[in-house]
Amino acid sequence: MERLVQIVVDAVSVGSLYALTALGIGLIFGVMRLINFAHGELITLAAYTLLALSGMPVPVMIFGAVAVAVLLALLTERAAFRPLRNADPTTLLISSFAVSFFLQKLLILVVGSRLKGLDFLPALGRQTELFGVRLQLLQIVTIVVGIVLLVALTWFLKATRLGLHMRAAAEDFRMARVLGVRANNVIAVAFALSGLLAAAVSCLIVVQTGVVQPRMGLQLVIIAFVGTVIGGLGSLPGAALGGFLVGAGSILLQALLPPDLRAFREAFVFVAVVAILLFRPQGLIPARGLRERI
């Protein structure tokens, strides 16, 4: 029984991580129809910022990571994505792929490709007991952070003026502009928020793995992408759900699969993804306004 709860908590914790990652991706896709591969680099560079600031007080480290992620997000928007605002989706996809690789290779050039250890908030790695079940403190923190950020984001989108503008822009960008919604502001805010989410994920991952390496962000976002696709591209609840399912699913599979198949669990997850897409190509929670009117 305890084992079962541990597995469930692990699944929810990992699911939350992927949900947050997918949300960051979904925010940008919503307003710009851009799949931002470079989101992975936001996560990676936030982690390297933590590394660079290690030894400083924790709030300073976290603030640094957030600042770097947000600034980098805004910079990539301004330099690489704004000129391509009206390009077709494939061009946007290629450009984000190129930006991602550029940042990654630049990072490797500067810091090398070997992984580096980082002991960040080691206290969170402790075991704790909740309702008689032994759990890792980090798992609980991850779930709480996930819920808090999800709620905060939802509040922002539903209750603020800017959030309303973003939701409108995500559904019908041009009509929003006709009504006076400032395109540049909305997109910049979306990127900034995605930076914030990336920094949060980065901190959690660094605590969990204790390792910083140039590929870390990309590995996360590849799986998160697939999550947004099954959740429904363009739909934020869909992105969160899809990311969560993919993350939680891989943990559950790991627990359920026989030992010799466990290494293939990612393959199984993707097969499940393909199966879902077969029956619901528009995703689990499809976004409105995505289908073109004839």
Partner 1 sequence: MKLGRGPVLETLRRLWPLVALVAIVAAIAIVASFAPAVPQRRTTQALINLVAVVGLYVFVGNSGILSFGNVAFMAIGAYVSALLTMKSAAKSVFLPDLPQIIASAEWPALPGALAGGAVAAAVALVVGWPLMRLSGVSASIATFAVLVVGNVVFGNWTSVTGGQNSLMGLPAYVDLWTALGWAIAALVIAFAYQETRSALLLRASREDEAAAQASGVNVVLHRLRAFVVSAFLSGIAGVLLGHFLGIVRVENFYLDLTFLIVAMLLIGGRGSLTGAVAGTIVIALLTEGLREAEIGFQVGTTNIAAPAGTGDVILALLMLIIILFRPDGIAGGRELTWPFGRR
Partner 2 sequence: MSAIAPLLVVSGLVVRYGAVTAVRGLNLEVADGETVGVVGPNGAGKTSLLSAIAGIVPPLAGLVTFAGAPLSGIALEDVVGRGIALVPEGRHIFAALTVRENLLLGATVRRDAEAVRYDIERAFSMFPILAERRHQPAGQLSGGEQQQLAIARALLSRPRLLMLDEPSLGLAPKIVDQIYALLHTIKSDGVTVLLVEQNAERACAVSDRVYVMSGGEFALSGNARDIARDPRFDAAYFGVRMREQAGAS
Q: How remote is the C-alpha of 163 from its chain's centroid?
A: 19
φ and ψ at 85, to 5 degrees? -50, -40
* Separation between Cα atoms, residue 264 and residue 141, nearest integer Å: 28
What does the binding site for partner 2 look like in residue numbers (CB under 8 A)? 164-165, 167-168, 171-172, 174-183, 287-289, 293
Residue 100 or 194 with smaller CB distance to partner 1: 100
Whole-number minimum distance, CB 21 to partner 2, in Å?
Answer: 23
The token duo for 244 is 């969560």
Site residues for partner 1, 215-244, by CB under 8 A, read: 215, 218, 222-223, 225-226, 228-229, 233
The token duo for 206 is 């660094």
Residue 13 or 96 with smaller CB distance to partner 1: 96
Site residues for partner 1, 259-278, by CB under 8 A, read: 263-264, 266-267, 270-271, 273-275, 277-278
| CB of 46 closer than 8 Å to CB of 65 | yes
Whole-number minimum distance, CB 159 to partner 1, in Å?
Answer: 30
* Binding mask of the shown chain, residues 28 to 67, with x at each position contacting partner 1 by CB under 8 A: -----x-x--------------------------------
179 exposed, middle or buried (CB, 10 Å; 0-12, 13-18, 19+)?
exposed
Place of tokens 């929003």: 176
Q: Is 87 in the site for partner 1 (CB under 8 A)?
A: yes
* Separation between Cα atoms, residue 84 and residue 257, nearest integer Å: 44
Find, among 222, 8, 269, 272, the residue nearest to 100 by Cα. 222
With CB under 5 to 8 Å by kind, the binding choice for 278 among partner 2, partner 1, none is partner 1
Reduce the secondary structure of 237-250 to three states and give it as a string: HHHHHHHHHHHHHH
φ and ψ at 212, to 5 degrees? -125, 125
Site residues for partner 1, 92-121, by CB under 8 A, read: 93-95, 97-99, 101-102, 105-106, 108-109, 113
Residues that bind partner 1 (CB under 8 A): 33, 35, 80, 83-84, 87-91, 93-95, 97-99, 101-102, 105-106, 108-109, 113, 215, 218, 222-223, 225-226, 228-229, 233, 263-264, 266-267, 270-271, 273-275, 277-278, 281, 292, 294
